[in-house]
């Protein structure tokens, strides 16, 4: 089973920041948090990952709580092209399986 919990859907106005939450209360010390997104029925696309510290790249920012039990993906200026299903994944370290949950369907509203 997936080790993460995400809201099934969210709306965000175009141009505003989209904040997507993820709970991973059973995460262990050396497991990373990854975010992917899937636009329409294309293959999932990597966005960002982190261990303990907050991370930022050209696509998004990842904020991980100090206890590492939850995280938030931030898309700073959402556009219509960000409409997608966003998956939060905790990487199982002993065998590197990548297990997807149900994700959050993000609707960007014009």
Partner 1 sequence: NAGVTQTPKFQVLKTGQSMTLQCAQDMNHEYMSWYRQDPGMGLRLIHYSVGAGITDQGEVPNGYNVSRSTTEDFPLRLLSAAPSQTSVYFCASTRMGLGTEAFFGQGTRLTVV
Q: By CB under 8 A, is residue 103 in contact with partner 1?
A: yes
According to DSSP, the β-strands at 84-90 and 104-109 are antiparallel
Stretch that binds partner 1, among 14-22, 25-33, 64-72, 76-84 (CB under 8 A): 25-33
Cβ proximity of 65 and 77 under 8 Å: no
What lies within 8 Å, CB to CB, of 105 at 6+ separation is 8, 9, 10, 84, 85, 86
Rank residues 4 and 70 by Cβ distance to partner 1 and give the closer one.
4
Q: Which of residues 80-99 bind partner 1 (CB under 8 A)?
A: 85, 87, 91, 93, 95-99
Distance CA 56, CA 39 (A): 21
Task: Give the chain's radius of gyration (CA, Å).
Answer: 13
Cβ proximity of 5 and 33 under 8 Å: no
Q: Which of residues 29-68 bind partner 1 (CB under 8 A)?
A: 30-32, 34, 36, 41-46, 49, 51
* Nearest-approach distance from CB 41 to partner 1, in angstroms: 6
Q: By CB under 8 A, is residue 7 in contact with partner 1?
A: no
Which residue ranges make up the site for partner 1 (CB under 8 A)?
30-32, 34, 36, 41-46, 49, 51, 85, 87, 91, 93, 95-103
């Amino acid at each position: 089973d997936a080790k993460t919990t995400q809201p099934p859907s969210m709306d965000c106005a175009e141009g505003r920041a989209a904040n997507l939450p993820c709970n991973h209360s059973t995460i262990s010390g050396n497991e990373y948090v990854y975010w992917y997104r899937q636009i329409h029925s294309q293959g999932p696309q990597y966005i960002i990952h982190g261990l303990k510290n907050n991370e930022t790249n050209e696509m998004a920012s990842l904020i991980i709580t100090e206890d590492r039990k939850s995280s938030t993906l931030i898309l700073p200026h959402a556009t219509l092209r960000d409409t997608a299903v966003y998956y939060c994944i905790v990487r199982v370290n002993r065998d590197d399986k990548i297990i997807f949950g149900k994700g959050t369907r993000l609707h960007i509203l014009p």
